[in-house]
Amino acid sequence: MISQQPENISELSFENIVFAGGGNRCFWQAGFWEVAAPALALAPKRVAACSAGSAVACAIFAGRSEAAMSVAKKTMTHNPKNQYWGNLFRQGKVFPHESLYRQMVVEIMDQAALAQLAKGPDILVEVARLPRWLGPKSATLVGLSLYQLEKKLRQPVHPTFGRKIGFSAEFINARQCHNAEELANIILASSCTPPFTSVQYPGARAALDGGMVDNVPVEGISSWEQAYNDSQKTLVLLTRPYPRLPSHPHRIYVQPSSPVAAKSWDYTNPLLLQQTFDQGRRDAEQFLAMHA
- For residues 231 and 35, the model is more confident at 35
Rounded average pLDDT over 136-146: 90
Cα separation, 147 vs 155, whole angstroms: 10
Cα separation, 221 vs 234, whole angstroms: 8
> What is the reported pLDDT for 222?
81
Q: pTM surpassing 0.85?
A: yes
Q: Which residue type, as a one-letter code, is found at position 2?
A: I
Rounded average pLDDT over 139-144: 90
> What is the reported pLDDT for 11?
65
Assign 224 a pLDDT band (cuts: 50, 70, 90): low
> What is the reported pLDDT for 227?
53
Rounded average pLDDT over 126-137: 93
> Which residues have a Cβ under 8 Å from the Cβ of 32 and sit 6 or more positions away?
237, 254, 280, 281, 283, 284, 287
Rounded average pLDDT over 229-240: 86
1: pLDDT strictly greater than 60: no
Residue 232 falls in which region: left (phi positive, over 0), alpha (psi -120 to 50) or beta: beta
Q: Tens of pLDDT along 44-93?
A: 999 999 999 999 999 999 999 999 999 999 999 999 999 999 998 887 89
Helix ranges, the chain (H): 27-40, 52-61, 65-77, 97-108, 111-119, 136-153, 161-164, 180-190, 219-228, 270-290
Peptide bond into 195 cis (omega under 30): yes
- Based on DSSP, count helices (H) and strands (E) in the chain, helices before strands: 10, 7
> Considering the chain, what percentage of its residues have pLDDT values greater than 70?
94
164: pLDDT strictly greater than 90: yes
229: pLDDT strictly greater than 70: no
Assign 9 a pLDDT band (cuts: 50, 70, 90): low
Q: At what angle do helices 270-290 and 65-77 cross, to 10 degrees?
A: 150
> What is the reported pLDDT for 90?
81
- Mean per-residue pLDDT of the chain: 92
> What is the reported pLDDT for 151?
87
Cα separation, 73 vs 144, whole angstroms: 28
